[in-house]
Each structure stands twice: as structure tokens, then as C-alpha cells.
Amino acid sequence: MGSNHNNSMSNIIVLGAQWGDEGKGKIVDLFSDRFDIVARYQGGHNAGHTVYIGPTKYVLKLIPSGILRKGVLAVIGNGVVIDLAALVSEMDQLEAAGIDVASQLAISNRAHVIFPFHRMVEKMSEAREGRTSIGTTSRGIGPCYEDKIGRRGIRIADLFEADSFGPLYDTLCEDKQTLAKAFGIHETLDYAEIRRQYETIAERIKPLVRDTSWLLNKSMREGKRVLFEGAQGTMLDIDHGTYPFVTSSSAAAGGACTGAGVPPTAINGIIGVSKAYITRVGAGPFPSESLDAMGDLIRKRGNEFGSVTGRPRRCGWFDVPLLKYTAAVNGFDSLIITKLDVLDELDEVPVCIGYKINGKLTTDEMPATNRGIESIEPVYERLPGWKTETRGVTDFDKLPDAAKRYIDLLEAQTGVEVGCVSTGPERNETLVRPGSKLSKLL
Ligand code: GDP
Ligand code: IMO
Ligand code: MG
């Protein structure tokens, strides 16, 4: 239930500190009962945020995870890109699960719309010979953001102005057809039918469409608390990630302000979510990747398969320099370490504590190019494993000593407090450390 706390530590951003899939959905769901609003600020249905409520599993893609709490308003901000068909399909699923979507969802009138031709355009860069394939989720995310930045995109508000929507749509379709021809993509899309379908969906969602920036600012002035839910992760951020192996939006903390239309001064806390190890889906450099049996063990125990595409996630070890880099970019007040229980069986747990670049040791430098990142020689420290089950532990003091030492090392090496540890996928399988900065932000 929305809390309506009127305290100064009101609004927080919860975002991924690695390459996505850190467990943001679980954490946002867990904390959302202390907030009135949960807002997404970037990305689209490339995200897959898993939430377990008892045995029931939900995978939120486009709609903020907060919608699962009665009375919490879920806001899709202006920085998000919206595939209308994906949106209504997700709305239907949630409604079927008994959620009051009509009264709990608000959609920005300034968000850009993904059309089926955006997915077609994505094939141009992903499947063509001689091009670097990023291993995207094939959801049309990148091409939609291209149109946004190219100032030819179509926004939700445009759907309701028939006079301007028609010509905008026709021009965009012409562009795409020309491109498809030039690039030899033979895909027949029924542009008139897509338009009719989108107009029908637009009528359906019309009551939910708002100026969400105005709504958020007004709500915050009234003392309501907002949690901003990041999608993807900082290393997938268009500016700060491992470019070009990134997504096309601003996943880092700064993106919350532009992507929701709220001033930086409205933000009181920034929480980074990180696995106790690290994973990556898709292509791109990955210094601490484990390609041996240990990586396979983590994939199996951690069930590391994409929640959107089902692809096996690449697995590796906690990377301190990477975390220090994302902590600097975002200004983390606190870190949440998830999936500690996945490491329970290991004899020893490697941690990448430094990078050797051209023979020189560094702990807080991230090369800008792929070649630079690929040239990194990770330096590992191997900590003893705890070989004890930690699943469901809710008190830091009850963790095995070796697990405590592991968390202490991550805290000391990254310079950010670990305010919370997640020991299982469910809400109650979590420990928040009393007296932590995080506990004060909640
Ligand atoms: P997100 O994209 O950051 O929300 O993360 P995903 O939902 O894509 O992937 C995280 C996966 O790990 C999901 O299947 C979660 O249910 C699961 N998970 C989250 N926290 C924990 C944890 O502490 N332990 C275990 N074993 N699983 C977890
Ligand atoms: P959540 O929110 C993990 C990755 C893709 C690909 C790259 C670009 O669940 O953490 P895109 O379709 O966005 O253009 O693909 O980004 N990617 C994710 N990886 N978690 C995600 O979301 C991701 N969203 C995109 O695999 O490498
Ligand atoms: Mg995910």
C-alpha cells in the first residue's frame, strides 16, 4: 500500500550496477510498499524483471514492477519506448492476474512509440554481413531511439492528433521502406493495417495517458514518495557502457531525471543492484567472464537464462573495478548484493580486484574502447567458499563467516556500503542491514 510518508528522504533510484538482470525486479517489488509511485524512465520491453510472490512468478517488461502492489501507481515515463502491442499484452496478463491496471497505470504522452517496422530496421544492423552484431533483444528498441534522436519519431500524444499522426506515420513508413529496399530486406509489412491496429490500441490506452512529468512533480510536492526503477544496467548505458555493445538509452542514474521529467534535486538516494557475481547477455567484452565449469555451475544454480529471450547468460566473477566505475557514474549511496545463495556450493570464490592494462595495475579505470577492455588482464583474489546454504537468511549475523567476509571484501574494495543482501528470489529472502544508509532511505 502506498505509504504517503512525508519525509525528506523520499525519492530513490534503484538501478543495475552491471550488465542488467541484477535482480532489480525483486528489489523494486520488495521496497515498493514503502512508496506511492514506481516509475520507469528508459528502455522498453527489452527489460525482463522477475518477481516472485509466493509461488507465482511475474515477469514485468514494460510496466514498472510496482504495479504488483495494491495502491501503488506505476508510471511509464517519457524516456521509455513503447511497443503498443507489447503494452496491451502485458496489461492483459496483469489484469488476468487480478491487478487493477486501469487505476494503477499512467503512461507518458511524451514517450516514443515502437512500430513493427522498427524491428525490421533492427535486422539491418544485426543480421547483415560485415556489421557488428550486438546480440540485441530484437524488440526494435535501438531503431525507435534512433528516430527519437533523429527528430522524426512518433510519440504517444501524436497518436491522438489524427491530422498530424497521418503525415508523420506516412513519412516514417516511406523512410523505412526506402531503407529496407536499399539494404535488401524483403519483408512485407502491411503499413495500413499496422496503423489501424495502433489507432485501436491508442483509443484503449487513452484514459491512462498523462503528462507524467507534471504528475510526478505534483505528487512529490504533495509528499508522495517515488521509486525510479532502472532497466538494463550501467554497463549497457548508451554513454557509459561498453559501447557499441550497449542498449540505446540512458540506464544510469542521470537518465532517471531526463527520462521521467524530474529535477536532480528531487532525488534523495541512489541504490545500485549487483549480483554477487556477474552476468551478461549478448555480445561484447567481459573481463571477468568464466568460460570453464565454474561458469556452467553458476549458470545452472543461478538459472542464468534470459527472462526475455531465454538465451543463456554469460557468467563471471564479481568485478571490483567495474563496480567502482559504475558507482562513480551513478553516485551509489548503497549497494544491494543479490543471489549470494547461488555461490553456496563453491570451494572458493574468485573476485576480480584489479585490472592489468599494458602491464600496469589499475583498480578504477575503465578503458573506453572494446579493444581496450579486451586487453584487460583481470587480477583475482580467491576467497574461501562457505559451503553452507544461505538461501533465505534474513540476518547478516546469521550468514556463515566466509560469506560475511566475502560481503565485507566487496564493501571495502568498492568503497560503497552493502546495505542489503538478497538470499533468494522471494520477497522474504532478503536482509537489510540495520543502521545502513539504505535502511534510512527506505
Ligand atoms: P532484473 O532484470 O534485474 O529484474 O533481473 P531478472 O529478473 O532478469 O533476473 C534475476 C533472476 O534472479 C530472476 O529470476 C530472479 O527471480 C532471481 N533472483 C533475484 N534475486 C535472487 C536471489 O537473491 N537469489 C536467487 N537464487 N535468485 C534471485
Ligand atoms: P533488464 O532490465 C540484460 C542487452 C541485450 C544486448 C544489448 C542491446 O532485464 O536488466 P537492446 O535490445 O536493448 O537493443 O539490446 O542489451 N539487454 C539486456 N541485457 N538485461 C536487460 O534488461 C537487457 N536489455 C537489453 O542482450 O546485449
Ligand atoms: Mg532482466
Q: Which CATH superfamily is domain 275-441 in?
A: Adenylosuccinate Synthetase, subunit A, domain 3 (3.90.170.10)
| Closest residue by Cα to residue 388 from 349, 417, 427, 419 | 349
Chain segment 207-241, per-residue pLDDT in tens: 999 999 999 999 999 999 999 999 999 999 999 99
Query: Which of 236, 249, 338 maximizes ligand 2 atoms within 8 Å of its Cβ, making it the mutation to test the pocket?
Result: 236
Q: Report which protein residue has its CA nearest ligand 1's atom 11.
A: 23
Element (H, E) at 228: strand 226-229
Query: What are the cell numbers at 128?
Result: 547483415
Distance 151 CA to ligand 1 centre (A): 36
pTM: 0.97
CA-based end-to-end distance of the chain: 14
> Could you tell me the pLDDT band of residue 9, with boundaries at 50, 70 and 90?
low
> Could you tell me the pLDDT band of residue 77, with boundaries at 50, 70 and 90?
very high
Q: Report which protein residue has its CA nearest ligand 1's atom 26.
A: 424
Whether 428 shows a pLDDT value over 90: the answer reads: yes
Arithmetic mean of pLDDT, 157-184: 94
Which ligand lies nearest to the CA atom of residue 236 in the structure?
Answer: 2
C-alpha to C-alpha distance for 81 and 343, rounded to whole angstroms: 36
C-alpha dihedral sign at 405, 406, 409, 410: negative
Q: Report which protein residue has its CA nearest ligand 1's atom 14.
A: 50
Query: What are the cell numbers at 264?
Result: 536532480
Query: Which of 26, 59, 63, 68 maximizes ligand 1 atoms within 8 Å of its Cβ, making it the mutation to test the pocket?
Result: 26
What's the chain's average pLDDT?
95
Query: Which of 83, 147, 232, 289 maximizes ligand 2 atoms within 8 Å of its Cβ, making it the mutation to test the pocket?
Result: 232
The domains of the chain are located at: 9-108+209-269, 112-204, 275-441
C-alpha to C-alpha distance for 14 and 219, rounded to whole angstroms: 19
C-alpha to C-alpha distance for 371 and 354, rounded to whole angstroms: 18
Chain segment 326-361, per-residue pLDDT in tens: 999 999 999 999 999 999 999 999 999 999 999 999
Distance 194 CA to ligand 2 centre (A): 26
Q: Is the peptide bond before 207 cis (omega within 30 degrees of 0)?
A: no
Whether 2 shows a pLDDT value over 70: the answer reads: no
pLDDT of residue 3: 46
C-alpha to C-alpha distance for 204 and 212, rounded to whole angstroms: 18
C-alpha to C-alpha distance for 240 and 329, rounded to whole angstroms: 8
Looking from the CA of residue 233, the nearest atom of ligand 2 is 10
* Sequence-ordered list of residues with C-beta below 8 angstroms from that of 133, at least 6 positions apart, any chain: 125, 126, 127, 283
Distance 154 CA to ligand 2 centre (A): 23
Chain segment 44-66, per-residue pLDDT in tens: 999 999 999 999 999 999 999 99
Tell the residue number behind the cell numbers 532525488, with chain if given: 267
Element (H, E) at 180: helix 162-182
Chain segment 112-160, per-residue pLDDT in tens: 999 999 999 998 888 777 888 999 999 999 999 999 999 999 999 999 9
Rg (CA), the chain: 22
DSSP 8-state code for residue 60: E
Q: How many H helices and E strands in the chain?
A: 14, 19
Cβ–ligand 1 distance for 280 under 6 Å, the answer: no
Distance 162 CA to ligand 2 centre (A): 34
Whether 100 shows a pLDDT value over 80: the answer reads: yes
Q: Report which protein residue has its CA nearest ligand 1's atom 6.
A: 21
pLDDT of residue 188: 85
Chain segment 247-279, per-residue pLDDT in tens: 999 999 999 999 999 999 999 999 999 999 999
DSSP 8-state code for residue 422: E
> Could you tell me the pLDDT band of residue 6, with boundaries at 50, 70 and 90?
very low
b/e sequence 51-80, b meaning 16+ C-beta within 10 Å: bbeeeeebebbbbbbbbbbeebbbbbbbbb
- Our measurement of the distance from residue 397's CA atom to the centroid of its chain's CA atoms, rounded to an integer in Å, reads 30
Q: Is 133 helix (H, G, I), strand (E, B) or coil?
A: coil
The class (CATH top level) of 9-108+209-269 is: alpha beta
Whether 97 shows a pLDDT value over 50: the answer reads: yes
DSSP string, 234-288: GGGSTTTSSTTSS-SS--STHHHHHHHT--GGG--EEEEEEESSEEE-SSS--TT
- Among the listed residues 29, 36, 45, 49, the single catalytic one is 49
Looking from the CA of residue 281, the nearest atom of ligand 2 is 26
Long-range CB contacts (within 8 A, 24+) of 177-186: 179/121, 179/124, 180/120, 180/121, 180/124, 183/124, 183/128, 185/120, 185/123, 185/124
C-alpha to C-alpha distance for 194 and 200, rounded to whole angstroms: 10
- Our measurement of the distance from residue 354's CA atom to the centroid of its chain's CA atoms, rounded to an integer in Å, reads 26
Amino acid at 48: G
DSSP 8-state code for residue 7: -
Looking from the CA of residue 57, the nearest atom of ligand 1 is 16
**CATH no., domain 112-204:** 1.10.300.10
The answer to whether 57 and 246 are in contact (CB under 8 A) is: no
The answer to whether 102 and 204 are in contact (CB under 8 A) is: no
Q: Is 21 marked active-site?
A: yes
Q: Report which protein residue has its CA nearest ligand 1's atom 13.
A: 50
- Our measurement of the distance from residue 281's CA atom to the centroid of its chain's CA atoms, rounded to an integer in Å, reads 13
